[in-house]
Structure formats: C-alpha cells, structure tokens
Amino acid sequence: MLDAAGRPLVQVENLKMHFPIYTGIFRRHTGDVKAVDGVSFQIMAGQTLGLVGESGCGKSTVGRAMLRLYEPTAGRVVIDGEDVASMPSEALRKKRPTMQMVFQDPQASLNPRMTLAEIVSEPLDEHTDWTRDQKLERVYELMDQVGLNRRFVNRFPHEFSGGQRQRIGIARALALKPRFIVCDEPIAALDVSIQAQVVNLLEDLQEKLGLTYLFISHDLSMVRHLAQRVAVMYLGRIAELSPSRDLYARPLHPYAEALLSAVNEPDPVLAARRKRIILKGDVPSPANPPQGCNFCTRCPKVMDICKTVKPDLVEVEPGRMVACHLYPAAGSTGASEAYERNQQGETQ
C-alpha cells in the first residue's frame, strides 16, 4: 500500500549513527562507535516492518535516529515525502505530530509527578491551542481506544500496572493522530501474559487508524505475528530484509539462520528435526568492526572474500535482500561460484 503520491510512507537511505570517542587529557577524537553503519529500508503505508537482532546491534538507535531524537551522522530519512534528517528545527517541530514513539520501559518514560490526563494531554499542550475541555475530551477518547477506564484519569503512573502504563504511553503517542510510530521493544518490560494483550492492541489500532509501524524487538516469535516484512540487524548493518513468511520458512543469511534456529518450535516433530546453530566467539566491538563482512568472525560459512570485502545489501530473490557473498544479486553471476560451493557443502 503506497501513499497518495505513490511512494512508501517511510524511506531510510544509508542511515549512519556514529558516536565519537574522546581519549586522553586533551579529549582528542580518536575514533567512533559505529552504532548504525549504512542502514536502508522502506515501509509501506499501513504496514509493519519488524527490526530484530541481538542486544547491542543498533536496533533502538535506528528508531531514535529516524525521529531525530539522535542527530544522524549521515543518510536520509524521508517520512511522508519530507527528509526528516536534514530538516531545520522549526520545521521538525511542526513535523513531530506525524511521527511518534512508544518507548521500551513505560515506568521510565512517564513522568511520575504527572497524572494520566496531564501525560496524555502534554502533546496537545505543545502542538494545539485547544481549550481545557477539548483536551480532556481527547484524553477520554484516547483512553477508550487503548482500553483504560475513564475513572483512572487523575491517577499517577505508580498506581498502574506495567501493562496499563504501556497503554498510557501508546495513548500519548496517538494524541496528535500520527501516521508513523516507532515501537521500541514495547513489550520487553512486560509480563508474558500481558505482552499478547499489548500486541493485539497495537494491531487493532493499526487496522482502525491506518498506522504504520517500525516494530523493534528481540522477540522473534512476536515479530512473526505482527510484521509483514522483517529486517535482521547485526553490528549496525542489515544482514537480511525479507517478507516475514519467507524469512521464517527459509532464512538466507547465515546470521538470520542461526538467530531463527533459537526460536522455540511448539510442534515437537518439527522441533526434533531442527538443527540448532551455535555461534562461536563474541560480537566484535562497534568501535572497531571487521574490515569485510561484520559477521565474518563468527560465520560458519565464511570465505576469504568475506574477510576483506564488505557485502552490499542486494536483492537476491524477488522481495528478498541479503548482504552476503554467498548469494549473487538477482540477475548477476558475480558470486555464483561461491553460492554453488555453499549449496554443495550443505548437501554433503
């Protein structure tokens, strides 16, 4: 589904977020932590892109840099036809209502000194000139949408459960009727019994309001339920970007394959057949990533080229993009010999 102009609602092109390292008495700039190092993807209007990967791979940094909570080092972030990354401050402030964020820890992201009504109406205070009655009516409307009792309107965050606090965060994000929402691990801090309720709420809101999500998570089974397309990140770069069904049925990148082999399989017959892939070694430092492929130090299928040449994220099958020398780009034969060697190795 495209927007009115025929474009994806969200386009991220070569996004980089490097944090400088200063050392010594004179605080000299001696390097950078490459938290996000050239990420590109698109999200169609009304759809959800899942962003997965192990802790420290740069998932949350991508979401914050997209919304300019961090100033991106380089790249473009086009949301609804406008480049957010290069937008002046005043224009960015006017753009804020169309893009919002639901944070990971609801207890840390809500002001403990403010009531529910004050928290949810704060965006309305900043971006509208509504009367107090209009704001209160909008607060009640949002409470109904996220499943909170109107009698709780004057309670403080400590009086709510974790799931209720996350619903308050979602209501606050919806206050200005955004088109795009970054969900930064919104269920990670919740009990398992509550997680499904929050995910179902996000799905219902997406269907009713036509929302577009970037859903960041390390819970692969939940992403499978929610997202139409999934991007797998490793050490600041996207390793694979595929439709959800294809990725879970047949992951292409060795890292995606190892990651998905760790997901619990409820069917005991399928679980018995599954081969668990245990990766050896530690994740390299983002301050000093490998020269070639970021995954080459741990990849069970590593080749010589992987250690010197960084693979580009290219389309290897219709709708499937992989950054790996094992797979040639669609229509290309440049890496076909390596791909054939890999296939022969799997069948032996």
Percent over 70 (pLDDT), the chain: 91
Confidence (pLDDT) at 346: 46
Q: 21-35, 162-176, 218-232, 319-333: which has the minimum mean pLDDT?
A: 319-333
Residue 126 CA to residue 81 CA, distance in Å, equals 24
Alpha helices (H) in the chain, listed in sequence order: 59-66, 89-95, 106-109, 116-127, 132-146, 162-174, 192-209, 220-226, 244-249, 254-260, 268-273, 336-347
For residue 78, list its beta bridge partners. Answer: 11, 83
Domain assignment of residue 18, yes or no: yes
Distances from the Cα of 324 to the Cαs of 259, 261, 319, 336, in angstroms? Answer: 16, 19, 16, 12
Of 106-110, 213-217, 328-332, which one has max mean pLDDT? 213-217
81-106: average pLDDT = 93
> CA 190, 191, 197: angle at the middle one, nearest 5?
80
Percent over 90 (pLDDT), the chain: 72
Confidence (pLDDT) at 311: 93
Residue 348 pLDDT level (bands cut at 50, 70, 90): very low
Domain assignment of residue 191, yes or no: yes
Residue 271 pLDDT level (bands cut at 50, 70, 90): low
Using the predicted structure, report yes or no on whether residue 82 has a pLDDT greater than 60.
yes
Residue 213 CA to residue 318 CA, distance in Å, equals 23
Using the predicted structure, report yes or no on whether residue 42 has a pLDDT greater than 90.
yes
Domain assignment of residue 159, yes or no: yes
Residue 336 pLDDT level (bands cut at 50, 70, 90): very low
166-175: average pLDDT = 96
- Average pLDDT of the chain to the nearest whole number: 89
Confidence (pLDDT) at 7: 67
Using the predicted structure, report yes or no on whether residue 110 has a pLDDT greater than 50.
yes
Q: How many domains does the chain have?
A: 1
Query: Which residues constitute the domain of residue 310?
Result: 10-347
**Would you give the end-to-end CA distance of the chain in angstroms?**
43
Closest CA to 284 of 58, 12, 82: 58
Domain assignment of residue 183, yes or no: yes
155-161: average pLDDT = 94
**Are 174 and 205 contacting, i.e. CB atoms less than 8 angstroms apart?**
yes
Distances from the Cα of 334 to the Cαs of 140, 325, 329, in angstroms? Answer: 60, 9, 8
Domain assignment of residue 239, yes or no: yes
Domain assignment of residue 5, yes or no: no
Residue 331 pLDDT level (bands cut at 50, 70, 90): low
Domain assignment of residue 46, yes or no: yes
What pTM does this model have? 0.89
Confidence (pLDDT) at 5: 42
Using the predicted structure, report yes or no on whether residue 334 has a pLDDT greater than 90.
no
Q: Are strands 320-322 and 314-317 parallel, antiparallel or unpaired?
A: antiparallel
Using the predicted structure, report yes or no on whether residue 276 has a pLDDT greater than 90.
no
Using the predicted structure, report yes or no on whether residue 339 has a pLDDT greater than 60.
no
290-295: average pLDDT = 92
The DSSP line for 223-266 is: HHHH-SEEEEEETTEEEEEEEHHHHHHS--SHHHHHHHTTS--S
Those residues with Cβ within 8 angstroms of residue 223's Cβ, 6 or more apart along the chain or in another chain: 50, 52, 215, 217, 230, 244
Which CATH number fits the domain that encloses residue 37? 3.40.50.300
Domain assignment of residue 4, yes or no: no
